[in-house]
Structure 1
Amino acid sequence: MKIEDTSGQDVVLAKPSSKKSWLIGITTLVVLVMLFSIAAPALSSWSSGDASISRERVRLATVTRGDLVRDLSVQGRVVAAVSPRLYATGQGTITFMIDAGDVVTKDQELAVIESPELTNQLKQEQASLQSQTLELERQKIQARKQALANQKSVDLAKVVLVAAQREKRRADKAYQYHSISQIDFEKAQDDLQNAELVFKHAEQDALLNAESLAFDIKTGLLQVERQSLLVKELQRKVDELTLRSPVNGIAGNLAVKQKNQVSRNQPILSVVDLSEFELEVDIPESYADDLAIGMSAQVSVNGQTYAANLVTISPEIENNQVTGRVRFATTGEANAHPAGLRQNQRLTTRILMESKNDVLMVQRGQFLESSSGRFAYKVIDDVAHRVSINTGVRSLSNVEISDGLAQGDTIIISSTDQFNNAERVIISN
């Protein structure tokens, strides 16, 4: 048996054309050159970059030009602008006429303090005043009687003087005609001098007695006036035992219970005037030196913005914060004063500290904390280059760029701590 070989299965192949091989080679070379030209910049960037990061992990922002307002956002607590607190003016038993939360009007009786000691003292002093007043009237009557007696003495002395003058004239004529003796003539002269002295002394005594009586009456008047002032003071204290509302509003919490004993100057209750509100804000210590009374502010209430002003700043710092008061604007604004505010309600307040026009600025981000505002990463063709910058005024949303960047530049505004101060960072897709 003859075993055949595989020669019957062989096929003669045609020799490939050399022209076709050249076309394939040229095409392959062109494709390789194109791929190399496309990949060369990327390879160059990768080779020159010190670090790389995914684009999804960074935030980019563009440097723009516009108006920048430096502001501060704080939480404010609504407090009544007028909220007087009433204190006990004396010691006694308190009786309230109202309950906490009642609506009260100005001068309405809120509570009465029963103080028997003070009331009794007032009655004693009133009786003393009445007694001194009667004593003064008695002194006035006595003064008139004494003045009448003095006038009587003067009149009598004058009558005696007139009689002595007449006897002197008779004696002069009689002595001229030698009708009386020398002794009788001299006696008439002595009687006249005596009458003149008596009349003169009577007038002087009357004047002195009148001055003395006027002095006594003036002293009595001063004593009565002093006693009257004392009674008025005690009456004022007794009247103040009735506590009255100083404003229209709502009675606050009662500090003591009904019919309890209270001491002088003890807090009793407060009255809240709900017609005027202010915001008490706690401001970080770092902004304390930048604040000034009169700065504009904006308060957000139920989606609306209301104009306000910073009216007070605390002179001391507590818990690294400064306390201030913001008052709603009352003129020139459509929404000057919001309605429906409640005591201790929390509201967001924006204090406008400074405004600058036409400045370079960029959106605020964590890169400021990472670099302390000294440098930023400017993005050019997916490569972030580290550049030195100078920042200026900062607001809640933007920061001023005073040097190092130009309008239209794109920078990384997210945290750059992970770059470890690299000069160039590749941003990959």
Structure 2
Amino acid sequence: MIRDTSAQDRLIEPAPGRRRKLLLIGGVAAVLVAGVLAWPGLQRMVSTNASVSETRLSIAEVERGPFVRDVAGEGKVVAANAPTLYAANGGTVTLRVHAGDKVAKGQVLAEIDSPELAARLAQERSNAEAMRAELMRAQVEARQQNAALQRDWENATIDLKTAQNDLDRQTQAFKAGAAASMQVDHARDTLEKARLTLAHANAGRGLKEDALKFEVQSKQAALERQQSLVKDLQRQVAELQLRSPVEGQVGQLLVAERATVAKDAQLLTVIDLSALEVQMQVAESFARDLAIGMPGEISGGGRAWRGLISSVSPEVVNGEVAARLRFDGEPPDQLRQNQRLSVRVLLDRRDNVLTVRRGGFADEGGGAHAYVLREGMAERVPVRLGARSLDKIEVLDGLKPGDKVIVSGAEAFNGAPRVAISR
């Protein structure tokens, strides 16, 4: 074996004062190293007002891309045309259909038995027949009197001609010395009298003809007025048979069989299945953006159809507004009233828009501030937000792409300008 030098080595003990100095220097150095390593955390703790765990927060990244604003919800099928039939007159109702029956346009759905209206129609018809007889009698009398007037006028014409001939004879005889002048004067007076009689007959004939004409016209007008009354009663009687105004389906029967109803009472409803719409409830915040003609999508049962907004209710009920969509094109088959369908309405679509996921931060303080996560710190920065969709909010100012925004949970910060976020 080769011997080592352990026999020649000698341990030298350090001096007691020097050992304590080395230990003190090492401790100070360790403290300085620990302080340097912990300085960022200490700095954050000193410069912030609070510290919140990241697990309590919801963070979203600001992005630039397409922005789609739409409203989605559940809608129900309603009939755009669902007329209600009313009783045209009081009486007893006899129903010819049942609820749910398919009916054709013009088909009789119910009948009303109104004895009072039937009796009145019969009475007015009788009055019309009596007036027609009076008119015919007046026409006959007018023809008779016209014939008598014609006869008197013709006799007066003949008398005038006879008187003229007699005057001519007497004048010739007087010239021949066979007649006295007295006879000529008498013949001249007779001619003048015949001329006056003819003039009076002619004038009286015209006046009497006018009077007879007015009498006949008056009776004719009375008859026409009575006939109009009869036609109106016939219309009312015909309306006692309630016919379907559209082709569709019987909705509800509002009265029982053989029930006695008053005038204008509701009897039943008819649903026009060819004019169905879908009604949805929209939150009041989106209602101001809805307009007639906006495109939408209606889906159900694995199928989808295009739709257009046809009407928007002007009234807000429980914070919601009712909007209706009609099918763009032929409506689908086998739809039923009150059937549930999914509805989506496109409000706006734009490209290259700065957006962030929607959250509670947009409602806190009017959406004027947001907390941005930077190097473990949540900093409160002023922002300006724009339009909102179901899942995104447009960012107009204050943020840039890539910023991480605390979209919910920031209420724990109590409005502090800077908050430390612990993992």
Q: TM-score range by the shorter chain?
A: 0.7 to 0.9
State the shift of 1:12 in Å: 11
**More displaced, 53-62 or 194-203?**
53-62
Aligned letter for 2:281?
Answer: D
SS of the equivalent of 1:90 reads coil
Task: Indicate the larger mover: 183-192 or 139-148.
Answer: 139-148
**Which letter does structure 2 place at the counterpart of 1:384?**
A
Give the whole-Å Cα distance in 1 for the aligned partners of 2:111 and 2:210. Answer: 50
Which of residues 334, 355, 369 is equivalent to 2:363?
A: 369
C-alpha displacement at 1:154, in angstroms?
Answer: 0.9
1:41, distance to aligned residue in structure 2 (A): 3.1
1:98 aligns with 2:97: yes
**What's 1:128 paired with?**
127
Residue deviations 1:262-306, cap 9 Å, x none?
Answer: 110000000111222112333444445444333333334235543
How far, CA to CA, are the matches of 2:48 and 2:302 in structure 1?
Answer: 48
Is 1:41 aligned to 2:40, yes or no? yes
Kindly indicate whether the alpha-carbon contact (under 8 Å) linking 1:370 and 1:416 is maintained by their aligned counterparts in 2. no
The question of whether the paired residues in 1 share the 8 Å contact of 2:53 and 2:421 is answered with: yes
For structure 1, the residue ranges without an aligned partner over 5 or more in a row are 1-10, 19-25, 331-335
Q: Partner residue of 1:386?
A: 380
Of the candidates 393, 396, 402, which is equivalent to residue 390 of structure 2?
396
Q: Return 258-267 or 280-289, whichever deviates more.
A: 280-289
1:86 matched to 2:69? The reply is no
Cα distance in 1 for residues equivalent to 2:49 and 2:98: 75
State how far apart, in whole Å, the 2-side matches of 1:351 and 1:229 are: 54
Name 1:350's counterpart in structure 2. Answer: 344
Q: Which amino acid aligns with 2:402?
A: G
Alpha-carbon shift at residue 366 of structure 1 (Å): 1.1
Q: Secondary structure at the match of 1:274?
A: coil
SS in 2 for 1:406: coil
How far is the alpha carbon of 1:30 from its aligned partner?
10
Structure 1 equivalent of residue 262 of structure 2: 263
Q: Displacement of 1:103 after TM fit?
A: 1.2
Query: Aligned partner of 1:395: which letter?
Result: S
Q: Which amino acid aligns with 1:369?
A: D
The corresponding residue for 1:220 is 219
- When the two structures are superposed, what TM-score results if normalisation uses the length of structure 2? 0.88
Distance (Å, rounded) in 2 between the aligned partners of 1:16 and 1:307: 98
CA shift in 2, pair 1:415/1:170, >3 Å: farther
Q: In the alignment, is the contact (CA less than 8 A) between 2:56 and 2:409 conserved in 1?
A: no
Q: Provide structure 2 residue ranges, at least 5 long, that are not aligned to the other structure.
A: 1-6, 15-24
Offset of 1:76 from its aligned partner? 2.8
Tell me which residue corresponds to 1:6: none
Letter in 2 for 1:361: T
**Partner deviation per Cα, 1:17-70 (whole Å, 9 max, x = no partner):** 99xxxxxxx999999988766544344334433322222221211112233333
RMSD across aligned positions (CA)? 3.0
Map 1:286-301 → 2, pairs under 5 A: 286-301=285-300
CA shift at 1:177, angstroms? 2.6
* 2: CA distance, partners of 1:291 / 1:16: 95
1:178 corresponds to 2:172: no
Give the letter aligned to residue 410 of structure 1. K
The DSSP-based 3-state class of the residue aligned with 1:413 is: strand
SS of 1:282's equivalent?
strand
Distance, in Å, in 1 between the alignment partners of 2:343 and 2:182 is 117
Which residue identity does 1:167 align to in structure 2?
D
Aligned to 2:363, the other structure's residue is in SS state helix
**Alpha-carbon separation, structure 2, partners of 1:362 and 1:346:** 32
Query: In structure 2, how many angstroms separate the alpha carbons of the residues matched to 1:202 and 1:57?
Result: 121
Superposed, which structure 2 residues align to 1:26-425 within 5 Å? 39-330=38-329, 337-425=331-419
Given the two structures, how large is their TM-score scaled by the length of structure 1? 0.87
Greater mean alpha carbon deviation, residues 144-153 or residues 287-296: 287-296
Q: In the superposition, relative to structure 1, how do residues 316 and 268 fare at CA in structure 2: closer, same or farther (>3 Å)?
A: same
CA contact 1:94–1:261 (8 Å) conserved in 2? yes
Q: Distance between the aligned counterparts of 1:81 and 1:34, measured in 2?
A: 80
**Mapped partners of 1:175, 1:14: distance in 2:** 213
2:60/2:407 contact within 8 Å kept: yes
Given the superposition, is the C-alpha separation of residues 304 and 33 from structure 1 closer, same or farther in structure 2, using an over 3 Å criterion?
A: farther
Distance 1:349 1:17 in 2: 91
